[in-house]
Structure 1
Amino acid sequence: MTQNEYKKQLIKLIQINKKNVFEEDEDRKAFINSRFGVDSTKKLSIDQLKLLLDFCKRNVSDIPMLHPVENKEFVTELQKEKIRVLWNEKARNKSEEALLNFVFKITKAKIILLDDLLKGKATKVIVALERM
């Protein structure tokens, strides 16, 4: 089996197993972009495809950020703390899932962890929470 054939086989396995983790293709693409800096599985290396497949099969709980995101700063610790404090004060449903759904509603960014939120979008969330 050539490397190209092996890569295609890994992509097929990811396509089969992606529903275990990602509800929609948009979520999968955003995750791939945040972790690997590409927008398609075709652009991933074999090692990256193996990592993604392990994640889709739930063999690992998360994939660390493997690339620096250019010109984008992630949420600071102070912003995360402010978001959580405001959320606990103002929200009826104080769960993490409800918070992430609120973040999506405000920013249109589907994130898995609050750590994945960009700094500018975190500011929008804080303003929205303060107005609640």
Structure 2
Amino acid sequence: MYTKAQLKLKKQLIKAVHVSKRYVNFFRENESEYRELLKKHFGVESSTKLTIEQLMMLIDYLNFKRDSLPIFNQNPQKATARQIEHLRGLWNRYAKDKSERALLWFLKRFEGVLPLRVEYVSKESAQKAIVALKKSLRGKDGC
């Protein structure tokens, strides 16, 4: 759920979508193509269903500040909260650079693309990363 401030921001971002350059010049007249764009890249048919982060990406794209949008995965089995917690714990034990950014770059090896947040990593990639970190820790600890 969103706080009141986040809801206000989301409402402002939705308004910004509808006054953006690309939307005004093209999508306002071609609503079905706009809906297809949302479905293909975010898995929704309405900007009201987007997260704040997704709205910001969409606005950048619609205002020509971004060349493309990520493709939405039709079968997004996201990592569980427990997997993410375990992954971060292992990362903090193993890594020299314990930053979130370094963890994201490590996860890129398994995900194929740089995830925006650790929470967006697939279950499969999280599991592979956990196994790799465990093996690395075994080697590091001399077990």
Tell me which interval the TM-score lies in, with the shorter structure as reference length: 0.5 to 0.7
1:81 corresponds, among 81, 85, 93, to 85
**Structure 1 residues 116 and 85: CA distance shift in structure 2, 3 A:** same
Q: Percent identity?
A: 30
Map residues 31-70 of structure 1 onto 2, 5 A cutoff.
36-39=38-41, 47=47, 51=55, 52-53=58-59, 70=74
Q: Distance in 1 between matches of 2:120 and 2:25?
A: 33
Cα shift readout 1:72-113 (whole Å, capped 9, x = no counterpart):
311101100110000000000000000000000233132110
Equivalent position amino acid for 1:53 in 2: I
Q: 2:126 matched to which residue of 1? A: 122
Contact 1:83–1:126, Cα closer than 8 Å, also in 2: yes
1:6 corresponds, among 26, 42, 47, to 26
Q: How many residues align?
A: 90
Unmatched runs of 5 consecutive residues or more in structure 2: 1-22, 29-37, 49-54, 64-71, 137-143
Q: Which runs of 4+ in 1 moved over 2 A?
A: 3-8, 44-48, 54-57, 69-72
Alignment RMSD: 3.8
TM-score, normalised via structure 2 length = 0.49
Structure possessing the higher radius of gyration over alpha carbons: 2
Unmatched runs of 5 consecutive residues or more in structure 1: 9-35, 58-66
Equivalent position amino acid for 1:100 in 2: L
**Structure 1 residues 107 and 45: CA distance shift in structure 2, 3 A:** closer
Q: Which has the higher contact order (CA 8 A, sep 6+)?
A: 1
